[in-house]
Chain A
């Protein structure tokens, strides 16, 4: 059991949840999402985001539109689909359940 593996697993599960949460408020293009995730120290390298976005899009949780940029190549603006919103809602409730559970358990153990 490697510490790095466990850490990566914990992060990975939450990553999709966070991407959906970011897009819940407003549509964004990958750089926006990367900045937010980097600020929160959730990702170390940007590359992991792209397969995730594609998977989420193929699962029809996300959709995107192209927008021309004045400073560079055109940007893909991602937003949640109806399915994505429903999915996020479920994740939200599961997350709060898990959060409560983890806090409860770790508190009990530290007493």
Chain B
């Protein structure tokens, strides 16, 4: 008479003799021990249990309802020694395979990014990344918070990662999550292994199949290296553009150098000076914001996909979505840009006669301070002088001078104003808004070194020219220049054919024959 036990193997109840049970239990313990370095050992044990259950149930029939010791012995001998399940024979045979075995026993090389929901604050994105790179989670969280504080960029990044990174559900997932990290060292190892394989040439196949875990062959390892490298490139440039974007775009850090106590002109302020109206400005600003930020997110996402091998449908949908959003932003900017460009289409002009004087010499006297705005700020335009502006006006310098022969014995002085807009008519209206003082007092021409126009007119290529007609034997004294008609060799009165010309800067300095 023997004692029996009731056991449950994979949902099926068996009545088993006690010594048979002990043998079985011992077998499973040995199996677990011998598989402890094997990836997915739990699953293998389950499979073996399943097979034991299957073989056991085939031993039973209507007349035989108890699993006996002999049955279990038979089953276990069919299954073989647990120690033989993983064939390690090659470990002692060649030295090169020992290296590979060590590599596989270190943990799965097949490392994946998962969300680690066990250590999650929100969805486990940070903890997943931390265990991927084997970095302390604090650093990753700190990084996300820093990026979050900078213009909230961390939020869309986190949400996208939440969507596309799978949750670590099974033990295998968790093992993969903590597998061999991708570091510079492991990458180098990969490359060396790949090179070695190439060298081995035809031994490749044997090497690959001898090694239980060698499914990632030379080709895919090389590709993996390249894709991680490209991925890092994408992330690197994405982050650089992100920093630039945050500094110059969202933040109001000013990029166009401005002299004086008011510092610099920001990208936003410059946009406001060029774009036609506030709705265009808002459209352009949002278009640029959406376009650039989705382009940056796109680059970061492509990089992460390459590094973490996230080729799932969520990642692809996110890419498509970002592409469409970015495209929309780009199109909006393009439309606004084209509209603004159209506003430079036509040139309009206007004249004002300053006066005439009979004299041998006309002295041009620059008036420096007439136009300065005390409550405004100055904008440096290359080396060409300054803009000054306040809420209402923009002030520019660089007054152009043109000289022609007078038809009579008098000096004649005219001002010529020009601006651009979408039609001739509107351009003319803008040119009429330009203010520039020029007055004759005896033989002196008092001239402002700067001109001003309303800020609401925007920057539309506004300019002022002063045209001086010089009679025969007359001369113009301007700065340290004396302009004499004989030099001019001017034969016709065609304004488009001035040979002598010059320009005056805001500080009253005059440069002859030096327009641009």
| A46-B51, A72-B58 known; A51-B35 Cβ under 8 A | yes
Selected from A14, A50, A54, A59, the residue in CB contact (under 8 A) with B51 is A50
Contact of B58 with A12 in the complex, beta carbons under 8 Å: no
Interface status of B270 (Cβ within 8 A of chain A): no
| A9-B89, A9-B93, A14-B209 known; A72-B12 Cβ under 8 A | yes
Total number of A residues with any Cβ neighbor in B under 8 Å: 44
Selected from A5, A31, A71, the residue in CB contact (under 8 A) with B90 is A5
User: Which of B40, B58, B216, B217: most chain A CB closer than 10 A?
Assistant: B40
Contact of A8 with B87 in the complex, beta carbons under 8 Å: yes
Report the bound CA distance from A44 to B82 in whole Å: 13
Selected from A14, A55, A71, A72, the residue in CB contact (under 8 A) with B40 is A55
On chain A, the residues within 8 Å of B212 by CB distance are 51-52, 55
Selected from A6, A16, A45, A76, the residue in CB contact (under 8 A) with B209 is A16
**Interface secondary structure of A, over-half rule:** helix
Contact of B82 with A47 in the complex, beta carbons under 8 Å: yes
On chain B, the residues within 8 Å of A69 by CB distance are 54
Contact flags B9-42 to A (C-beta < 8 A → 1, else 0): 1111000000000000000000100010011100
Report the bound CA distance from A101 to B201 in whole Å: 14
Interface status of A58 (Cβ within 8 A of chain B): yes
Contact of A47 with B80 in the complex, beta carbons under 8 Å: yes
Which B70-103 residues have a C-beta within 8 angstroms of A? 78-82, 84-87, 89-90, 92-93
Contact flags A56-71 to B (C-beta < 8 A → 1, else 0): 1111010000000101
Contact of A71 with B87 in the complex, beta carbons under 8 Å: no
On chain B, the residues within 8 Å of A71 by CB distance are 57-58
On chain B, the residues within 8 Å of A12 by CB distance are 87, 209-210
Interchain nearest-CB distance for A60 vs B (Å): 8
Report the bound CA distance from A8 to B210 in whole Å: 10
On chain B, the residues within 8 Å of A47 by CB distance are 31, 48, 79-82, 84-85
| A16-B209, A30-B47 known; A73-B10 Cβ under 8 A | yes
Report the bound CA distance from A58 to B89 in whole Å: 23
Contact flags B49-76 to A (C-beta < 8 A → 1, else 0): 0110110011000000000000000000
Interchain nearest-CB distance for A29 vs B (Å): 9
Residue of A nearest to B48 (CB): A50
Interchain nearest-CB distance for B57 vs A (Å): 4
Contact of B92 with A5 in the complex, beta carbons under 8 Å: yes
Interchain nearest-CB distance for B491 vs A (Å): 84
Report the bound CA distance from A36 to B364 in whole Å: 109
Interchain nearest-CB distance for B265 vs A (Å): 56
Report the bound CA distance from A1 to B11 in whole Å: 46
Report the bound CA distance from A53 to B48 in whole Å: 11
On chain B, the residues within 8 Å of A94 by CB distance are 205
Residue of A nearest to B85 (CB): A47
Contact of B110 with A59 in the complex, beta carbons under 8 Å: yes
Interface status of B206 (Cβ within 8 A of chain A): yes
Contact of B78 with A74 in the complex, beta carbons under 8 Å: no
Report the bound CA distance from A90 to B88 in whole Å: 25
On chain B, the residues within 8 Å of A14 by CB distance are 209
On chain B, the residues within 8 Å of A53 by CB distance are 47
Q: List 25 A-B contacts (CB under 8 A).
A: A1-B93, A2-B89, A5-B89, A9-B93, A12-B209, A17-B209, A30-B50, A30-B51, A31-B54, A45-B81, A46-B80, A47-B84, A48-B80, A48-B85, A50-B48, A51-B44, A54-B47, A55-B40, A57-B40, A58-B39, A72-B54, A73-B9, A76-B47, A91-B209, A98-B205
In the complex, the 10 A-B pairs of residues with the closest C-beta atoms, listed nearest first? A45-B80, A13-B209, A59-B215, A72-B57, A47-B80, A5-B89, A73-B10, A73-B53, A47-B79, A94-B205
Given A51-B212, A98-B205, 14 extra CB contacts under 8 A = A13-B205, A31-B51, A46-B78, A47-B81, A48-B80, A48-B87, A50-B51, A55-B213, A58-B110, A69-B54, A72-B54, A73-B11, A73-B53, A101-B202
